[in-house]
Each structure stands twice: as structure tokens, then as C-alpha cells.
């Protein structure tokens, strides 16, 4: 079965569900838990598995509700792979999203219950509230171009600290620095996801960073943003805050180079540049995986 512009229906559903994007839920939990393991020599498997499932459910909520709120502003009217456009049922997607949010929060409540401590709940509630403010009425802060900053705090310092806390029931300076690296890598995905949407975003009044900067300046900024991941990690190795093994993060450099080149060559060609968000997902995944592995190997 195909839609009117002949994309197979199965491909549209996969693009709407976007399985690779769920690595944004996995990496902060993996990094926070790995640093806790390295620093405390303990690993709580049940907390880790519960947090992982909860994070995936919360990211499902943010994506389902994004399609609902974007349907309300009309910004997704040309987006065949919006779940609202695919199902034609906004209410269904809204309530399905709320179901995922409830399941996600239930897992977080269970962790707080086992710890007899509400800290993890507050951190994740703050993350969810900021996530809502990115896209939901009356805030819709993403339309003002501050989505990448919100994304940085939610998936970086807040999520990584919460994951660390769920294991160690304390905070850590090294974990805070690592969360900055994770936050930058996650915001890069959001930044890249806006390259091909300039026309629709402009029409709907959404001033994404790419709309504000223009595609060329934005593409020129990418190597610096990617480079900051490696420079920060190397700097903290030199300062002695990170173990030497975290230099493994350099193994993800080919994805940073591919991303920077691809965006520079195609920044003003929406069809070609649209996949740069998935190169950014690969960069985020491999950089986060190797960063955390560095802590585990040194632990």
C-alpha cells in the first residue's frame, strides 16, 4: 500500500515511530549508570532496567505529543509521517502519549520508592515539564528557537544526574561534566533535524536556530559543535577529572566528520540534508557509548 506521493506505507510508519531516535533515551541512562559504577563499584540491575524502560516511554510521550501539538499549529501539514496525519486521530495519539508518560513516571516512582528518596522524581519531572514547554501550549518555546537549549538540559545534566542518582543516591562532578558532553550531542540531533524544515517552519512562524542563522551559517557552526565534544572530553582527561579510557570517544570522530561534511555540502537542499539528523543520532550513540565505556573500563 502506498500514499499519494508513493512512499510505501510501512516506511511512513517507521519514519513516524523513528526507532533509532530512542537512543536519546538509552545513552543518558547508560552514561550516568556507568559513571556511578566506576565511582562506587556497585550496579543495581533492576534500577537500571526500570530507568531504561521509563526513559524510552517518556521519549515516546514527547514524540507522540509533538505530533499532536504540531497538528494544532499546522506546521506538520506536509509531514506524511506525522502519527496524527497517518491515523487521522489526534485524540488517540494524545491519549496514547499520556499512557506512555504515565508508564514512564510509574517506573521513576518505583525507583524513588526503592530508594526512599524523591530526588529522581523531581529531576525527571523537571525534565518532562521543560520538554512540554518546548512544544506544548501556551509556551511552544521551540518556536522561539530555544529548543536546543532545553534539549541540552533535559537529556544532559538532568537525565544523566538522575541516572547516576538512581544508582549511587548522590551526585558527582565527573558525572556533571560528562552530562555536558551528552547534552551537546543530543542537542546536535535536534539542531540537525531542522535543516530540511526551513520552509515549513518559516510558514508556521517557527524560528528554529536554522531559520534564525540561515542554513549556511548553521552548517558552518556544526564542526565547532561536534569538535566541542572531543575537546571537552580531552580537556577533562588532561585535568584528571576523566579516566584516560574516555579518550575512546575519539572513535566516534568519523560520524562527526561525516555529519559536518554532509551538512556543509547539502545545507540548502532539503531532500539531501534531511538524513543528517540520523548521522547526528549515530554520532550521539557512539560518542555516548564510548564515553561511558571509558568509565567502565577504568572502574
Ligand X SMILES: C/C(=C\COP(=O)(O)OP(=O)(O)O)CCC[C@H](C)CCC[C@H](C)CCCC(C)C
Euclidean distance between CA atoms 168 and 1, whole angstroms: 51
Q: Which is nearer to ligand LXD6PMIU, 50 or 63 (CB)?
A: 63
Site string for ligand LXD6PMIU, 78-117 (x = CB under 6 A): ----------------------------------------
How many angstroms from the chain centroid is the CA of residue 69? 19
Residue 146 contacts ligand LXD6PMIU per CB under 6 A:
no
Q: Which is nearer to ligand LXD6PMIU, 151 or 256 (CB)?
A: 151
Q: Which stretch binds ligand LXD6PMIU (CB under 6 A): 162-170, 188-196, 211-219, 254-262?
A: 188-196
3-class DSSP state of 83: helix
Q: Which is nearer to ligand X, 95 or 257 (CB)?
A: 95
Half-sphere exposure of 286 (CA within 13 A, CB side): 16
The helix or strand, by DSSP H or E, that contains position 155, with its residue range, turns out to be: none
Least separation in angstroms between CB 101 and ligand X:
9
131 touches which of ligand LXD6PMIU, ligand X, none (CB within 5 to 8 A by kind)?
A: ligand X
Binding residues for ligand X (CB under 6 A): 25, 28, 55, 58-59, 62-63, 66, 70, 76, 124, 127-128, 131, 134, 142, 147, 150-151, 154-155, 159, 190, 193, 197
Euclidean distance between CA atoms 299 and 36, whole angstroms: 9
Q: Which of 23, 35, 29 is nearest to 49 (CA)?
A: 29
Q: Which of 221, 206, 87, 197 is nearest to 135 (CA)?
A: 206
Q: Which is nearer to ligand X, 234 or 275 (CB)?
A: 275
Least separation in angstroms between CB 25 and ligand LXD6PMIU:
8
159 touches which of ligand X, ligand LXD6PMIU, none (CB within 5 to 8 A by kind)?
A: ligand X
Least separation in angstroms between CB 215 and ligand X:
15
Q: Which residues contact 269 (CB under 8 A, 6 or more apart)?
A: none
Residue 121 contacts ligand LXD6PMIU per CB under 6 A:
no
Residue 186 contacts ligand LXD6PMIU per CB under 6 A:
yes
154 touches which of ligand X, ligand LXD6PMIU, none (CB within 5 to 8 A by kind)?
A: ligand X
Residue 21 contacts ligand LXD6PMIU per CB under 6 A:
yes
Euclidean distance between CA atoms 98 and 43, whole angstroms: 31
- On whether the CB atoms of residues 171 and 161 are closer than 8 A, the answer is yes
3-class DSSP state of 2: strand
Q: Which residues contact 172 (CB under 8 A, 6 or more apart)?
A: 35, 36, 39, 164
- On whether the CB atoms of residues 135 and 65 are closer than 8 A, the answer is yes
- What does the DSSP 8-state code read for residue 1? -
Binding site for ligand LXD6PMIU (CB under 6 A): 18, 21, 24, 59, 62-63, 151, 155, 186, 189-190, 193, 277
Amino acid at each position: 500500500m502506498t500514499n499519494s506521493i508513493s512512499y510505501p506505507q510501512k516506511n511512513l510508519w517507521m519514519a513516524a515511530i523513528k526507532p533509532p531516535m530512542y537512543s536519546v533515551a538509552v545513552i543518558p541512562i547508560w552514561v550516568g549508570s556507568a559513571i556511578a559504577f566506576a565511582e562506587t563499584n556497585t550496579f543495581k540491575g533492576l534500577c537500571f532496567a526500570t530507568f531504561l524502560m521509563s526513559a524510552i516511554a517518556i521519549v515516546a510521550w514527547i514524540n507522540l505529543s509533538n505530533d499532536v501539538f504540531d497538528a494544532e499549529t499546522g506546521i506538520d501539514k506536509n509531514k506524511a509521517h506525522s502519527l496524527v496525519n497517518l491515523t487521522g486521530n489526534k485524540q488517540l495519539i494524545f491519549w496514547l502519549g499520556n499512557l506512555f508518560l504515565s508508564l514512564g513516571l510509574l517506573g521513576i516512582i518505583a525507583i524513588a520508592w526503592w530508594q526512599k528518596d524523591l530526588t529522581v522524581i523531581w529531576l525527571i519531572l523537571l525534565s518532562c515539564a521543560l520538554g512540554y514547554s518546548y512544544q506544548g501550549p501556551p509556551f511552544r518555546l521551540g518556536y522561539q528557537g530555544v529548543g536546543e537549549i532545553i534539549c541540552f538540559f533535559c537529556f544532559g545534566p538532568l537525565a544523566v544526574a538522575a541516572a547516576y542518582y538512581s544508582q549511587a543516591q548522590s551526585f558527582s562532578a565527573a558525572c556533571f561534566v560528562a552530562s555536558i558532553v551528552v547534552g551537546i550531542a543530543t542537542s546536535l540531533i535536534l539542531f540537525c533535524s531542522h535543516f530540511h524544515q526551513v520552509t515549513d517552519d518559516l510558514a508556521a512562524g517557527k524560528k528554529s536556530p536554522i531559520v534564525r542563522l540561515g542554513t549556511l551559517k548553521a552548517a558552518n557552526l556544526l564542526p565547532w559543535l561536534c569538535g566541542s565534544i572531543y575537546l571537552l572530553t580531552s580537556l577533562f582527561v588532561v585535568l584528571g577529572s576523566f579516566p584516560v579510557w574516555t579518550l575512546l570517544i575519539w572513535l566516534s570522530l568519523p560520524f562527526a566528520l561525516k555529519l559536518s561534511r554532509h551538512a556543509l555540502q547539502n545545507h540548502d537542499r532539503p531532500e539531501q540534508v534531511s538524513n543528517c539528523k540520523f548521522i547526528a543520532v549515530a554520532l550521539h550513540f557512539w560518542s555516548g557509548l564510548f564515553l561511558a565505556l571509558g568509565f567502565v573500563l577504568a572502574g
